[in-house]
Amino acid sequence: MTVSSRPAKMNWGYTFVVGFGFFGISIIWPIFNSLIPPMLEDLGLAAGVIGFIMTWDNIINMFLQPWVGEKSDRTWTRFGRRKPWIMLGAPLAAVFFMLIPFVRENAFLIALAILGTNLGMALFRSPTIAFLGDLFPSEQRSKANGVINFMGGLGGAVALFGGGALYKMGAPLPFIVGAGVMLIAMIIVLIFVHEPKETEQAPAQESAGLIANLKEVWNSSDRRGLTILLAILFWFVGWNAMEAFFTIYARNVLGVDPGTGTQMLTAFAAMLILFAIPSGFIATKFGRKRTILVGLGGMLAGLVVGFFIRDAKMMLALLAIMGAFWALVNINSLPIVYDVGGEERIGAYTGLYYFSSSLAAISGPILAGILIDFTDSRIQQGEYILSFHFGPIQGWILIELTGYAIIWLFSAFFMLLAFLTMLRLHETPIPSQSQS
């Protein structure tokens, strides 16, 4: 927690510069999540196996990121605390990321390239995100997080649209260009973001550890911590599963190529960008819980509607609408965790937030992949999974499913669980924004 480096008023220009860190991170993952699954499918891998491979980054994050975050708190060099980790992880991730398309016809080599990318990204993600706590006081974090997520959304949109276009020109191009843009963004952070040299708390303060923090939340008489962590787990299970399988769904159900499927997600990312900063202001005025509930309700409705859509243009419009609702959820998730945990527990609850989101990103694609394989095998045997009976109308209306279409109902189910869980959360008032 910094002392001297925090301005009395919000420095919007500097906040956007800090946001280049998340911009760089967000360049990599949309390309990774949208273009690698079709490559793995082309190798003949089952959906469950693809889902497992796509969770490697989150498995690594669960164990490596807490360790890196704690170590970066105590890494004092002439470059700062966080920057050495960026200098180590970003080049490592870039090299392995660029290798992926060149080894895509060999299952073992592409697995190694994916693993190397995951390790490199895990080394500098936590230190980069930690700038939010290092550089901004509590009353500025909602707006700062909106700006940072705006930059992340911008990076995601650039990656999806540009990556999809480049993929049509040649499979290696989005990976090469994406790695280059990520490195440029991180260089901007290294040059222009100035880390504080003083802290409010002694760096030698002991950490309770992830397991101890989980036990404390589980055993606490105040159930708000457990409630918000469960809600986060549910909504990220739903969306991570959709993100992991959308391009394969688009190819198998909508009949478009992976590059076009990747570009379709740009509509979602674009609305996330447009609503990133307004979402912070909306939550400040109406409350974070209410804002998140509206977002979850919109996502739930969109996922149900999406199950019935088979037209690419209609899907594009739906994704745009869903992007606006997702911004209401995503922008306010970490700030509401801080509200529940309290100012003195920010470090512990940050770790718990990323534990929940990483666990969701692991379990979501795996569970969805297993469900897809199961429904797809039933369809191949001539069975139908769903049927509807409309009261006065005699008979059953059967809806034929393609295995990948079930992903919409899977994600909708977990958004519903998140919505119901958030209803049980007692909201903590948002701190005064008078200084921002």
Cα dist from 122 to 88, 92, 166, 231, 403, whole Å = 11, 10, 26, 24, 32
Q: Which DSSP letter does residue 239 get?
A: H
Q: Which of 424, 419, 142, 148 is nearest to 284 (CA)?
A: 142
Q: Which of 406, 414, 306 is nearest to 360 (CA)?
A: 414
- Tell whether 372 is covered by a domain: yes
DSSP character string of 347-368: HHHHHHHHHHHHHHHHHHHHHH
- Tell whether 173 is covered by a domain: yes
Q: Residue ranges of the chain with pLDDT lower than 50?
A: 1-4, 200-205, 381-383, 385-400, 433-436
Determine phi and psi for 347, rounding to 5 degrees.
-60, -45
Query: Could you read off the pLDDT of 324-366 as tens digits, one per residue?
Result: 999 999 888 878 887 787 655 665 677 678 788 888 988 888 8
Cα dist from 300 to 123, 164, 314, 328, 417, whole Å = 34, 27, 17, 13, 10
How many domains does one find in the chain?
A: 1
- Tell whether 266 is covered by a domain: yes
Strands, E assignment, 67-114: none
Question: What CA–CA distance (Å, rounded) separates 255 from 89?
Answer: 38
Tokens at 282, concatenated: 């909306």
Task: Note the pLDDT of residue 3.
Answer: 41
Q: Which of 143, 91, 148 is nearest to 120 (CA)?
A: 91
Task: Note the pLDDT of residue 393.
Answer: 39
The number of beta carbons lying within 10 Å of the beta carbon of residue 436 is 18
Q: What separation, in Å, do the N-terminal and C-terminal C-alpha atoms of the chain show?
A: 17
- Tell whether 205 is covered by a domain: no
- Tell whether 429 is covered by a domain: no
pTM check: above 0.85:
no
- Tell whether 5 is covered by a domain: no
Task: Note the pLDDT of residue 342.
Answer: 64
CA torsion, ordered 8, 14, 15, 17, to nearest 10 deg: -160
Burial of residue 313 (CB within 10 Å: 0-12, 13-18, 19+) is exposed
- Tell whether 217 is covered by a domain: yes
- Burial track 245-271 (b if 16+ CB lie within 10 A, e otherwise): bbbbbbbbbbebebbbbbbbbbbbbbb
Task: Note the pLDDT of residue 4.
Answer: 44
| Adjacent-strand bridge partners of 397 | 388
Let me know: does 411 contact 239? Beta carbons within 8 Å: yes
Question: What CA–CA distance (Å, rounded) separates 366 from 59?
Answer: 12
Let me know: does 210 contact 351? Beta carbons within 8 Å: yes
Task: Note the pLDDT of residue 392.
Answer: 43
> Which region holds residue 192: left if phi is over 0, alpha if psi is between -120 and 50, else beta?
alpha
| Residue owning tokens 């199950």 | 307
Percentage of residues of the chain with pLDDT beyond 70: 82
Task: Note the pLDDT of residue 236.
Answer: 94
Domain assignment of residue 107, given as a range: 12-197+210-423
Q: Which of 425, 427, 417, 10 is nearest to 236 (CA)?
A: 417
CA torsion, ordered 14, 16, 17, 23, to nearest 10 deg: 160
Counting Cα atoms < 13 Å in the Cβ hemisphere of 101 gives 19
Task: Note the pLDDT of residue 400.
Answer: 46
Question: What CA–CA distance (Å, rounded) separates 307 from 180?
Answer: 37
Question: What CA–CA distance (Å, rounded) separates 251 from 263?
Answer: 13
Q: In this structure, what CATH number is given to the domain that contains residue 392?
A: 1.20.1250.20
Task: Note the pLDDT of residue 403.
Answer: 64
The number of beta carbons lying within 10 Å of the beta carbon of residue 158 is 20
| Residue owning tokens 């273009």 | 35
- Tell whether 400 is covered by a domain: yes
